[in-house]
Amino acid sequence: MVELTAPGRVALVGRGLKRLDHPPVVRKYFDLHAVLDVRHAQDWIANVLRPLVRDNPDCAPYLAEGALMRLSCGARCFEAYRQVLWTSSRRMLAAE
């Protein structure tokens, strides 16, 4: 699930770094993975998920449930990061 949703996030990081005027060498990792992760996800869907569901349709709801669980955990993780980082930055600004 991470691989299927990562390309968009990685592309956004690359664009943000470009907007902040970072040189290409700094953006290289993000720009590369924005393309590679799309290819990897397409291959994974074609070579793993489709054959798995085609050969055993009963597994589709379990795959979907697992994907939703993974996305939900990721959202909770990002929310925790946001709370800690925003709180930390507010404290630092208040201390100045």
pLDDT at position 57 over 90: yes
Domain boundaries of the chain, sorted by first residue: 1-55, 60-96
31: tokens are: 């720009």
Q: What is the pLDDT of residues 21-35, one digit of tens each?
A: 999 998 888 888 777
Nearest Cα to Cα of residue 10 among 29, 65, 70: 29
- pLDDT classification of 65: cutoffs 50, 70, 90: very high
How many other C-beta atoms can be found within 10 angstroms of the C-beta atom of residue 33? Answer: 18
pTM: 0.59
Count of C-beta atoms within a 10 Å radius of residue 45: 12
Comparing 87 with 43, the larger pLDDT belongs to 43
Q: 3-state class of 44 per DSSP? A: helix
Query: Cα 70 to the chain's mean position, in Å?
Result: 11
pLDDT at 90 over 80: no
